[in-house]
Amino acid sequence: MQTIEHVGKNNHSVQTIEAIAEQHESSVGQTRDTFTFVTQNMYEIIDQVQAIAFEIESIERDKDDVIRAAQNLSASGEEVSASVEEVTATYPP
């Protein structure tokens, strides 16, 4: 009788262990899927950040070009003003 009782308890223990193993396997699979998802999104974010950094560099270059052009225009304007003053000074009213 005790042997049959032990076999029954052992069967129940084995079933419990199998259920725990299935849950563990399922959890491991979900964790793997989550890490895969996070990793893929991380790489996408890295690509987007790199694209933004490239665009910022391009904007910086464009800004520098605009500043140079404005400085050149200002210098040209000063030269024109000086020339006008010079011409005006040489012609009496």
Assessment of whether the complete model's pTM goes beyond 0.75: no
The rounded distance, in Å, linking the Cα atoms of 31 and 18 is 20
Cβ contacts of 71 within 8 Å, gap of 6 or more:
none
Residue pointed to by tokens 């200002």: 74
Joined tokens for residue 38: 């996070």
Assign 1 to helix, strand or coil.
Answer: coil
- Per-residue pLDDT of the chain (93 residues), as tens digits, is 668 777 778 888 889 999 999 999 999 999 999 999 999 999 999 999 999 999 999 999 999 999 999 999 988 888 888 888 877 877 766
CA atoms within 13 A on the CB side of 75: 6
